Each structure stands twice: as structure tokens, then as C-alpha cells.
Amino acid sequence: MRVLLVSAPLIGHVFPLVPLGRALVAAGHEVCVATGGDGMAVTKAGLTAVDLVVYESLAVAGALAAATLGVPAVLHENMLFDGPTLVRVTSSRLGKALRRHGLDALPADAATISIAPPSVLPDRPGRPMRPEPYATGDLDLPTTARPRVVVTRSTVGASGGGLMPLVARAAAGIDAEFVFLNPDRRTRIPANGRAVASAPMPALLETSAAVIHHGGAGTAIAALCAGVPQLVVNGTGDRRHNASLIAARGAGLAVDEPDIDADLIRRLLTDPAVAGAAGEVRAEVAAMPSPATLVPVLAALL
């Protein structure tokens, strides 16, 4: 079986597809990933004969490709937002592209894969699959006796530029180590902090007691998988939605950026209810079906 994985040209959207892609390859199937301008190279290389297209919520072009080729399309949700709704909204703007390929509308997806933990986002349609956060590189940080707090921000769009400076100021009086991932120039790293240009988030979270972030789905899901309490800033796009879901589950706290202070961070580190809820979600994620279990399901769609 030849499978085409289609993603928006952003690392945070490509990486969630990797576990399923690896499972397909391990089962003997051929996988090609199309994202951004490099997709033209795939076409020129003649690698367009596929049996199945798997696309993520912001890559509705994958569904269009499947319809044009006459093969099944599978929606692989990689966010905590409603994937089918995103697809409907995006596909409503594809009128010219649809007509160019002789289509009036996109066919219904053959299947949907949801990676959201059920207690965080219940009643999702389709088949559940365990999210397995992917990252490259090794973690090169010394161990510490103090609790470690990861601070990370978005590098795309409205990044919540005040997040890191606010945390840096609040961190000075807290007995913890703060790891600032790719800090901006305005951030003055406190004595109990360190700046790191990059680090594999899954491995870093396994060594951490908490994470403070901008509300991006990738970071939020990685923290849920690791069972790490989260302080999530309400932001634009799906970020406020993600923050509210995590707070409602009890696995973290949602906050407007100006309200970040030392007391809130101390609560994040010491509240047993938050730590307990985060641990429950971690156990729930571990019990979800693995990507390997979805491979025969996809093969049966042909």
C-alpha cells in the first residue's frame, strides 16, 4: 500500500503524522510525506500513484488530491480543535480548485483519526489513536535537584511576545530551575534560569515538573502525554480553546498573559490536584490504541 501523508508546511503539523507514518513503514507499506513547496518535487519524480491519502486538519489539499486520484482520504486530527469543522470551513473556499478538477464538492472522508485524550475532549468522532509526540535530537541538559519548569513560546504568527519576559521576572524568587526555549531578545534570563536554543520537547518534559506555554496544540498535547502540569496563556486561534480544555480537565491553569505572576507559578508547582489530574491524563493516553493498531484499519479501506 502506498500512502501519502499531507501536512501544512509547519513542523508542528508535520511531526504529529510521523508516528503513524513509521507504523505504516514498519508494516511494510510505502509512505511519502507532502508538505509545502517540496510537494512539486514529488510530482516531478513521478510519485503520484498512491492508494490512500492521510491528511491533517489544516491540509485540506490532501482531501482534494485524494478526490482527484479517486482514492480514500483519511482525516488525521492533530489538534485539540474540531478537525472536521476546520476541514468544512477550509473546503468552503476551494470552489475554483474543485471546479478545476471537475468536482462539485469533496467526498466524505473514509475515516477520521482522533488523538485527543477522551477525558480532555470527549465524544470525538472516528477512531482514537495514542498521540506520540515526536522530536529530533538528544536532550543535553544537566540534571537538577530543583523542580524544572519549561517555558516555551510560539515562533509563528501572534506569539504572545510578552510571555517569556513576564515569566523571567516572576521566576526570580521561586525555588525552581526555569528552562527558556528559544527566548526572545527582550527576555532577561534570571539566575535560576537557562536559555536553550532548542531541545526535544518530549524528552525535556519527562525531566520537568511543569511547563508554561502559549497554548499551541503540539506543546499542550506533549505535556498531556508526559503528565506535566501546564500554565497555558489564552491566545489567538485555537490557543484559548486549548487553554480552556486543559483547565477544565484540571491538568493545568489557564491565564491571560498580563496575569502571570510568581504566586500562579508556585501554585502550578505545588497544587496536588493539578498534578493528579495531569497524571490521570498521562495514564489515559498510554492506554489509547497505538498507531500500529490503526494500520490494518487503514489497509481495509482499500
Q: pLDDT tens digit string along 108-140?
A: 999 999 999 999 999 888 899 999 999 888 898
Instruction: Tell which wins on pLDDT, 292 or 144.
Output: 292
- Answer whether residue 33 is part of any domain: yes
Q: 39 falls in which pLDDT band (50, 70, 90)?
A: low
Domain end position, chosen among 69, 99, 114: 114
Grid coordinates standing for 1?
500500500
- Answer whether residue 193 is part of any domain: yes
- Are 108 and 156 part of one and the same domain? no
Domain extent, residue 263, equals 148-286
The predicted structure's pLDDT at residue 98? 92
Neighbours of 30 (CB within 10 A): 13
Query: Residue 41 pLDDT more than 90?
Result: no
Q: From CA 254, how far away is CA 234, in angstroms rounded?
A: 7
- Are 70 and 166 part of one and the same domain? no
The predicted structure's pLDDT at residue 7? 94
Strand partners, 123: none
pLDDT tens by residue, 230-264: 999 998 888 999 999 999 999 999 999 999 999 99
64 contacts 106 by C-beta, under 8 angstroms: yes
The predicted structure's pLDDT at residue 43? 61
Neighbours of 261 (CB within 10 A): 13
- Are 66 and 171 part of one and the same domain? no
CATH number at residue 30: 3.40.50.2000
Residue 114: what residue type? S
Q: From CA 63, how far away is CA 61, in angstroms rounded?
A: 5
**Number of domains observed in the structure of the chain:** 2
The predicted structure's pLDDT at residue 159? 47
Query: Residue 157 pLDDT more than 60?
Result: no
Among the ranges given (30-44, 72-86, 235-249), the one the predictor scored with the smallest mean pLDDT: 30-44
User: What b-and-e string marks burial along 86-120, b requiring 16 or more CB atoms within 10 Å of the CB?
Assistant: bbeebbeebeeebeeeeeeebeebbbbbbbbbebb
